[in-house]
Amino acid sequence: MILVKLLLKSLLLPPGLLIIGVLAGLLIMRRWTRAGAAVVLLSAAMLILLSVPAVATSLYQALLEHEALEPNASLERSGAIVVLTGGLIPMAPEYGKNIASPPSVQRARYAAFLHKRTGKPILVAGGNPWGAAQSEAEAVRQLLEDEMQTPVRWLDEESKDTDDSAVNVMKILSRENIKNIVLVTSDFHMLRAEYLFKNIGFQVVAAPVGMRGERPFEIYDFFPSAGGLAKSSFALNEWYGILWYSLKNLVADLGKS
């Protein structure tokens, strides 16, 4: 399933989708010259447009609907702090073991801050999509407990994606009669994560990390770059995820009616 998802991402995200468009246009040109040329030009134009940093930043910023949580925000109603992992580095040579990736470290650090301020228990959710010997959740647990002196009460080591995490976290916390949570994940991921956790029945306090202040565009932000294309692809991946889960839930609701 993971390989299928990766293949679909390669086909649906730039540059893969646009390269396919160019190739399809070249094939069409063999029979319908003008139509094929139009497809080639449109695909090439989209490739250039999505490579412009200003466009990529706009796609990314549109994901950021949440403000940073106030440092002294009241979290009395919340029963748990739920941390969604963001990957791991397998067998990091300087440590000789799997370690939490930078996004996971950033999320863990904020969860530790919230725990020390509120005393709320922590649940870490993140499985093992690549078949490594250790789950992402376990790597983050070790980081929290060994390096940040912050206890972890629950682990979800089975999740393969955010949808799985929402389901598995509900199974764990429903046994504790907890429906109000503080959800910790990266700012770009919060829109999709909050939607899924609310959809399954949680009351969510969004606690995004990685927030950055906006700056005005400079002239170089309008020149295409590899970094711009990568950022556009990253943002579109989130938007595709939001669209997919919205359609999935819509179909499920229609099936019930």
The domains of the chain are located at 2-63+221-256, 80-209
Phi, psi at 141, each rounded to 5°:
-60, -45
Please give the distance of CA 191 from its chain centroid, rounded to a whole number.
Answer: 9
Helices (H), the chain: 2-12, 16-29, 33-50, 53-61, 102-118, 136-142, 162-174, 187-199, 226-256
Mean pLDDT for the chain overall: 92
Q: Cβ–Cβ contacts within 10 Å for residue 172, how many?
A: 17
The predicted-structure confidence for 180-200, as pLDDT tens digits, reads as follows: 999 999 999 999 999 999 999
Identify the band that residue 216 occupies on the pLDDT scale cut at 50, 70 and 90: confident
Question: What fold, for 80-209?
Answer: Rossmann fold (3.40.50)
The predicted-structure confidence for 120-177, as pLDDT tens digits, reads as follows: 999 999 998 666 678 999 999 999 999 999 999 999 999 989 999 999 999 999 999 9
Phi, psi at 243, each rounded to 5°:
-65, -45
Structure tokens given for 235:
């943002």
- Residue 11: what pLDDT? 81
Identify the band that residue 212 occupies on the pLDDT scale cut at 50, 70 and 90: confident
Q: Cβ–Cβ contacts within 10 Å for residue 129, how many?
A: 17
The CA-atom distances, in angstroms, between 98 and each of 75, 88, 102 are: 33, 7, 13
Stretch among 4-18, 112-126, 180-194 having the lowest mean pLDDT? 4-18
Question: Are the C-beta atoms of 140 and 104 separated by less than 8 Å?
Answer: yes
The predicted-structure confidence for 72-89, as pLDDT tens digits, reads as follows: 898 999 999 999 999 999
The helix/strand/coil state of 99 is strand
Vertex 156 angle, CA 154 and 161, to 5°? 150
Identify the band that residue 4 occupies on the pLDDT scale cut at 50, 70 and 90: confident
Mean pLDDT, rounded, for 54-63: 94
- Residue 131: what pLDDT? 67
Nearest to 16 by CA among 200, 230, 220, 181: 230
- 74's CB contacts (< 8 A; 6+ apart) are none
Identify the band that residue 10 occupies on the pLDDT scale cut at 50, 70 and 90: confident
Question: Are the C-beta atoms of 183 and 195 separated by less than 8 Å?
Answer: no
The helix/strand/coil state of 212 is coil
- Residue 246: what pLDDT? 86
Vertex 7 angle, CA 5 and 13, to 5°? 90
